[in-house]
Amino acid sequence: MKRAGEILAEFFDKETIKKAEEMGDFFSPSVWSGLLESCKLSQGVSHSRIVDLENSILLIEADHPGWIQLLQTKQRDLLNAVRSRFPEIPLDGISFRLNKGQDNAN
C-alpha cells in the first residue's frame, strides 16, 4: 500500500509539495512560538495562534481582548519577523480576532 506522500508525489511536482510543507510549517505552534519569542512576547504563545493567511493578510486569534491589544503593540515586529522567516509568503498586514470558543486559542 502506498503512503499518502507517495500518492501526492504522483500528482504534484516536488516544488509544489515543498511549498505545501512550508505552509504546514507556517501554521505550526512551534513557528508561532519562535515568532513571538523574537518579538519578546513568548508569554502570548498559550493565548494566541496563527489561524489563516488570506489575501496577504495574516489572521491571528487570541483568547482575550487584552492579548489582542498586546499583540497589536508589537504588530510591526511580528510582521517583520514573519517576513524574515518566510520571505516567499506575500504578507501585507496582520488582522486580529477574538477566539469566542470555550477552549484556549491553542
Least confidently predicted of 14-18, 25-29, 74-78, 83-87: 14-18
Contact 32, 45 (CB under 8 A): yes
Residue 79 vs residues 2, 36, 85: alpha-carbon distances, Å: 40, 11, 10
106 vs 50 pLDDT, higher one = 50
Q: Please, what is the Cα angle at 7 between 18 and 89, to 5 degrees?
A: 20
* pTM, to two decimals: 0.73
Give the chain's domains with CATH numbers.
4-98 (3.30.300.180)
Condensed to tens digits (0 to 9), the pLDDT of residues 53-68 reads 999 999 999 999 999 9
Query: Pairing between strand 93-98 and 57-62?
Result: parallel
